[in-house]
Amino acid sequence: MEISCLRPPWFYQIARSIASLGFVACLLLEVAGGATTNPAHPPPSLAAWVESADAAYRHLPASLSAYNLAVREICAAMEMETPTQFVSSLHGLGVAFDLPRVSLPLHHIENVAPPLASSETQAGIPLLLAYDTKKAPLYPPEGLFVDATAIYSRTGGRRRFSILSRTSELKLNGHIYTLAANHTAAGDHLRLRAKRFAKSGFASMVRPFAAARKPQIYLLDPYDPDKIPLLMVHGLQSTPVAFAALVNALRQDPEIWIKYQVWQFYYASGTPVLVNAQELRASLDKTLLTVDPKDHDAATKRIVVLGHSMGGVISHTLVSSSQNRLWNSVFRVPPASVKGDREVIHELERVLAFRRNPRVVRAIFMATPHRGSPMADSIIGFMGNSLTQLDPMLKQGFGRLVRDNPEVTTPQAAIFYRHGQFSAVRTLSPENPALIALSELPIEVPYHSVIGQRHPGPKEAGSDGVVPYWSSHLTGAQSEVVVRSGHAVFTNPEAVRETIRIIHLELR
């Protein structure tokens, strides 16, 4: 039950709104402020509930129910007072107050319902911390949301009220307890706030250069120098919000929640596949330089990447080195010998040439069209390619290079590039020589395939409705699991369990 259910809901909506303003500044500066109370429903004395929590703490474990009730009422008092008054009241009672160390302004704290599977042996009260990210571009503009737990304890004889995150167990009065927490609250809150963004996938596909957001990696957890980043890369006509249910499932695994942090790459998916791949590589380099400028952190040395659909294709460029293979799939001479606009030639070289990122140590490919999708050559693909509005360099420049250099262009490229503009849809064609060359590059880390199959039958003849098995399958994968699913394989329960299993492998 949410604490707000103990009193009229309308009251807490008002009180929470008041308490959210300037929470961190008030907590840090402890500036005096006025109380906000409801004279018709006065709250129980904070002092009384602190005394109850203290008494219950001293008699743990027998008094766990009374302990949790007292902590819940302290949380209720926190919602009813201004942040300044709450801190002042605690200090007046000789109680210290602790918050997680996050270098962002705390916007507000919410009491959340415990998960349905919560145990009566768990200690503490689940909370949600909401941080303001307006001046923190590494995090989603909707805000950073963190699952946390409120507890009461004594440290060195001093009474202490603490809000903890990224902690699953704690010793209270000499006994180890699992902390009560709702590990889906943060993800659910972000998904709710990002509803409009979640619907932008199609628009960003057909008008990629008019997208409201530029390609970048977003951190869904406060950056931790010791936790392994799980970098998730969405597919065509999608956004990172599509992974919300998968993120919730991962966070409910205690070991993953403690040892991993979630990063997500957003890009306007209509641009050509390998251009998107170059954006991913550049964004990862920029993110690593920002969070770890001195290159000291363990986190930046050990990244696991998970890519769905086209996101898997572009993630392939993080774990392979192109050498000259992609360039040679298009031209039979080096860049210096190609005629045309030098800026366009240089840009194409940046797109087709890359080296494996040594910081990425494992890859998970989900429903990935390594060798393309026949749908790209269908009437649906033709319409998608026609609707997409590209930057002039991408719409005409690369194709013009091929047309202006017929004598040094490979036969496959000459056939493929004569058909006009090259959106992401077009470049996912099985006829794209650069895509086929990419699929043949050796992957230099352990990798895994999770593949969907819509209908019964031999997997070799199967498809998820968009990507056939022959395109998703990679010889040499450390594991390959085929599940009964459409293209959104990451929503399939069996695929989620396999993803959790793979992520645990890296911990071992």
Helices (H), 134-174: none
How many angstroms separate the CA atoms of 508 and 502, rounded? 10
Adjacency order of strands within the sheet including 125-131: 95-98, 158-164, 144-155, 125-131, 106-111
Last residue of one domain, picked from the residues 119, 152, 187? 187
Task: Determine if the peptide bond prior to 61 is cis (ω within 30°).
Answer: yes
Which candidate, 470, 496, 471, places its Cα nearest to that of 483? Answer: 496
- Taking all residues of the chain, what is their mean pLDDT, rounded to a whole number? 87
- State whether 177 and 204 are in the same domain: no
- State whether 198 and 91 are in the same domain: no
Beta bridge partner(s), residue 262: 230
Collect all residues with Cβ–Cβ distance below 8 Å to 29 and sequence separation of at least 6: none
- State whether 474 and 334 are in the same domain: yes
Q: What is the pTM of this model?
A: 0.88
Count structural domains, the chain: 2
SS3 content of the chain, % helix, strand, coil (to 5): 45, 20, 35
Residue 45: per-residue pLDDT: 84
Residue 121: per-residue pLDDT: 84
By residue range, what is the domain housing residue 206?
194-507
- State whether 198 and 182 are in the same domain: no
Q: Contact 275/397 with Cβ under 8 angstroms? A: no
Q: Pairing state of beta strands 228-233 and 260-266?
A: parallel
Residue 295: per-residue pLDDT: 95
How many angstroms separate the CA atoms of 425 and 188, rounded? 31
Q: Contact 428/310 with Cβ under 8 angstroms? A: yes
Last residue of one domain, picked from the residues 187, 204, 221? 187
- State whether 225 and 331 are in the same domain: yes
Last residue of one domain, picked from the residues 168, 187, 206? 187
Which candidate, 326, 315, 400, 390, places its Cα nearest to that of 360? Answer: 315
Which candidate, 320, 351, 341, places its Cα nearest to that of 432? Answer: 351
- Per-residue CA distances from 105 to 21, 136, 189 (Å): 10, 10, 18
pLDDT lower than 70: segments of the chain: 1-44, 115-119, 392-393, 395-396, 419-420
- State whether 174 and 211 are in the same domain: no
> How many CB atoms sit inside 10 A of residue 323's CB?
12
Q: Contact 298/357 with Cβ under 8 angstroms? A: no
Q: Is 479 exposed, middle or buried (0-12, 13-18, 19+ CB in 10 A)?
A: middle
Residue 37: per-residue pLDDT: 39
- State whether 476 and 436 are in the same domain: yes
- State whether 296 and 249 are in the same domain: yes
Q: Contact 28/103 with Cβ under 8 angstroms? A: no
- State whether 49 and 171 are in the same domain: yes
Beta bridge partner(s), residue 173: none
CATH of the domain at 246: 3.40.50.1820
How many angstroms separate the CA atoms of 364 and 448, rounded? 5
- State whether 251 and 218 are in the same domain: yes
- State whether 58 and 118 are in the same domain: yes
Structure tokens at 147: 């699952």
Angle between helices 342-352 and 273-291 (to 10 degrees): 70
How many angstroms separate the CA atoms of 149 and 444, rounded? 41
- State whether 171 and 305 are in the same domain: no
